Amino acid sequence: MVTPALFARYPTPQAMADADRADLETQIHSTGFFRNKTKALLAASRDIVTLHDGKVPASMDALLCLHGVARKTANVVLGNAFDIQAGVVVDTHVGRLARRLELTTHQDPTRVELDLMALFPRKNWCRLSHLLIQHGRQTCHARKPRCASCPLLHDCPRIGVEG
């Protein structure tokens, strides 16, 4: 919800690198941890400008060298911006659903990612992340999953779901 206005205001890495810290904080305030994210956005944008000629790098290794970028963010950028299926984005929804559906027993996002990568074809990794995130937001909530309206109800082992 934040990115359309954010990228309209700062359409290039140079524009983001030159952003006023207070203005950037205001733009991303609703995402939570906005001070740390602002610091990371400014530093990563500066790195993109100085180390990559103002172009977002299209490799996992290069992305992981940017300030504030870990595997989740790198996978989002590679999958969505470059259509490179380097891995599965594991956020809280994906991790929770992967455990609930018995696709993994791990808590660590990297271990969850590796388990999901082993189970699904590479060409589906980015889409899998989007589908699990959407399902987690709309139906399979953490505290009160809406199992009665879930299309996976008959196949779901409901790990960690009471009732």
Write down which residue in 16, 37, 69 finishes a domain: 69
Q: What's the CATH code of the domain at 111? A: 1.10.1670.10
Residue 26 lies in a domain: yes
Same structural domain, 10 and 65: yes
Residue 163 lies in a domain: no
**Euclidean distance between CA atoms 45 and 56, whole angstroms:** 9
Does this model's pTM top 0.75? My answer is yes
Residue 160 lies in a domain: no
Residue 82 lies in a domain: no
Q: What's the CATH code of the domain at 7? A: 1.10.340.30
Residue 130 lies in a domain: yes
Given a contact cutoff of 8 angstroms between Cβ atoms, the answer to whether 98 and 131 are in contact is no
Domain with 57 in it: 3-69
Residue 74 lies in a domain: no
Residue 81 lies in a domain: no
Catalytic residue numbers?
A: 72, 91
Per-residue model confidence as pLDDT tens digits over 72-107: 999 999 999 999 999 999 999 999 999 999 999 999
Same structural domain, 103 and 55: no
Given a contact cutoff of 8 angstroms between Cβ atoms, the answer to whether 19 and 10 are in contact is yes
Same structural domain, 20 and 60: yes
**Euclidean distance between CA atoms 98 and 38, whole angstroms:** 30
Q: Would you give per-residue pLDDT tens digits along the chain (163 residues)?
A: 899 999 999 999 999 999 999 999 999 999 999 999 999 999 999 999 999 999 999 999 999 999 999 999 999 999 999 999 999 999 999 999 999 999 999 999 999 999 999 999 999 999 999 999 999 999 999 999 999 999 999 999 999 898 6
Residue 161 lies in a domain: no
How many folded domains does the chain comprise?
2
